[in-house]
Every structure is written in C-alpha cells, then in structure tokens.
Amino acid sequence: MALFSQFVSSYASNNMTKSLLIIIPFLFDRLWYSTIAVLLSKPTVLNKLNKNAIWLDRIMGCILLLLALKVVLTS
C-alpha cells in the first residue's frame, strides 16, 4: 500500500481497492516480462545475441564500472 499511497485517497480502504492495488501491478509486470522473454527467445534474436555476446558483456561491464565509480566518488 505504501508504494501507491499517492494514488489512493484516505477513504479508499475497502478490500476491492486493496486487491486492485496488488493485482494490477502484478499483471502488468507479468505481461512485460513475458513479452520480453518471448521476443528475446526468437532464433534470429538469439543468434544475434550469441554472435555479439563478447561485446555485450564488455559494454555492460563498462557501464557497471562507471556506475561503481560514480557511487565511490559521490559517497
């Protein structure tokens, strides 16, 4: 409930509202991750990902290093 407190009025304390606040994000997340999984599991996409795996790993590693550097320098 705390996550959606800005969207819920103070008098909306019935069970239907509480149920919807749980069910709607669950369904949207499920739809989003299922869509991504289906799209990324297609053979053409998988072949491209496998072919470029080394470069993708290097790019993601650089991004994570830059994020870590930012955390260290701003702390």
Domain ranges of the chain: 12-41, 43-75
What pLDDT is attached to residue 12? 60
Do 40 and 49 form a contact (C-beta atoms < 8 A)? yes
| pTM metric for this prediction | 0.57
Residue pair 26/6 in contact by the 8 Å Cβ criterion:
no
Higher-pLDDT residue of 17 and 9 is 17
Q: What is the pLDDT of residues 12-54, one digit of tens each?
A: 667 777 788 788 889 999 999 999 999 999 999 999 999 999 9
| Cα–Cα distance for residue pair 22/4, rounded to 1 Å | 10
Q: What angle do CA 47, 49, 51 make, to 5 degrees?
A: 65
